[in-house]
Amino acid sequence: MNRWAKIVMTLAALATSGWVAAGALGFRVRDDSSLALHTLVSFSALLALVLLHSWVAVFAAWSAIGLRPFAPRGAAAAVELRRIARRTLVASAAAVLVGGAQFVVSNLLYPAHLSPSAHGFAGAASAIVFALVLVVEARALAAHGRIALGLASAASEQL
């Protein structure tokens, strides 16, 4: 995995930790100020997660297109790059949808249409999904780096 990918994955892990911290803060909500802190931390973590996971998906898709001239059509490298791009796109979409669903759940909680335990369960489930997405994307970026390095070395040998 290259330096950029390591930085993005580290930031995504920190954002996931922020999401978990927001969940812990949720158990301590007693008044409006603690609710505001819980909401601010969770919203900040979700924005960071959406940005970072979207960034990975766009990178994988664009680099698969950009590396296309170096991988012959139907070659294993080209097929693998497209598979990585699809995998990261699905993983990123899952992270964004789960985070958005959690905020829908929290909006149902506030007017007392839903119990706080359901909100906590949804938050814990979304943290697990975020962690799984992080693993999928880290593996995809590592494979992408190996393929791109192989294509670059093959292209330089042809020159």
With a cut of 90, say whether residue 134 has pLDDT above it. yes
The pLDDT score that the predictor gives to residue 111 is 63
CB neighbourhood size of 138 (10 A): 18
Separation between Cα atoms, residue 134 and residue 65, nearest integer Å: 23
- Is 81 in contact with 141 (CB distance < 8 Å)? no
Contact 49, 134 (CB under 8 A): no
CB 19 within 8 A of CB 52: no
Give dist(CA 97, CA 88) in Å, integer: 14
Q: Please choose, from the candidates 16, 1, 34, 48, the residue with its C-alpha nearest in 3D space to the C-alpha of residue 131.
A: 16
The Cα 49–Cα 20 span in angstroms is 12
Q: Residues in the chain, how many?
A: 159
Beta strands in 8-154 (DSSP E): none
Per-residue pLDDT tens over the stretch 82-126: 888 889 889 988 988 888 888 787 777 766 777 778 788 888 999
- Condensed to tens digits (0 to 9), the pLDDT of residues 40-55 reads 999 999 999 989 988 9
Q: How far apart are CA 147 and CA 142, in angstroms?
A: 9
Per-residue pLDDT at 3 exceeds 80: yes
Q: What is the C-alpha separation between 8 and 78, in angstroms, rounded?
A: 24
